[in-house]
Amino acid sequence: MSATHDFQYRVGARVGGFRPGAHAGLTLGAGDDFVAHASLFARPDPRRIDLRASLRDPLGEWLVRLARQRSHIPVCALIDLSASMGFGTPSRKLDLAADFVAALGRAATAAGDPLSLSAFDDAERPELRLAPSRQPALVAQYAEQLRTAECRSAGHGGLIDALAPLAGRQAQVFLVSDFHRHDAELDTALDLLGRARVTPIVIWSPSETEPPAGDGLLRLRDLENGRLRELWLRPELRRRWRAAVAERRRALDLRFQARGIRAFYMSDPFVGDALTRHFLEGA
């Protein structure tokens, strides 16, 4: 695994919880994010006495500084294993998803966050579920399992079951998919994840977004249902092909933006610095 895969994620809003971590939190505790002063008798911690504020206090009280501590947040990745994820050149989309999962394991370890992983196609894939863990070796092993997993089923009905443990909870959730043909499930999933910070990881292969060069008869297979079609490749068809890809991206962006979400479109190979910039730009 190349170091160029490594990235850092950033949670935009303050997170709750009492366990210390790397993210701006809401809980009062040890930290340097000043909130207010309080009486030493209300908060008996002499280590935090503010002498200047105490000398200026009109009531002559000893004052201590209150600060918010940095907290952890549960992190989860939901990986699409439908038939279309087995497609792609030079890398299968599922291999790119595995690269991302391995890098996410290292990022979560660095942040001190527990990471859980689930996979789905038309049903949840229980053999590919990892309970919340802070052990990067388990995540690396999971990523290798993904590389050999079968993408055999069309449909995405298992998405809702896979995310059920996260419904209504505060978490950082990564949806890893090509987002082909599961609009109804996607809307329901985003509604259930209303309290979570959701980052869609959209994986499209260059061989599906860019038409082949040269004119001639082209046989295409539907990535989900396996049906074959024959098309005569010509400049007009290339123009329509690229326009359809742009329209699909625009429709996805609008669906996510309606909920304040911005998707990350993964390139081949996966470059972690690009995802880090995505978070720094306000994802």
> What digits encode the pLDDT tens for the residues 172-182?
999 999 998 77
Tens digit of each residue's pLDDT (9 = 90 or more) over 86-116: 988 778 999 999 999 999 999 999 999 999 9
pTM of the complete model = 0.86
* Distance between CA atoms of residues 155 and 180, nearest Å: 9
Phi, then psi, of 53 in degrees rounded to 5: -65, -35
- State the pLDDT at residue 214: 74
Q: Which residues pair with 49 in a beta bridge?
A: 64
* Distance between CA atoms of residues 76 and 132, nearest Å: 8
The domains of the chain are located at 20-71, 73-278
CA angle 184, 175, 228 (to 5 degrees): 60
Options 3.40.50.410, 3.30.1360.30, 3.40.50.620, 3.40.630.30; CATH for 73-278 is 3.40.50.410
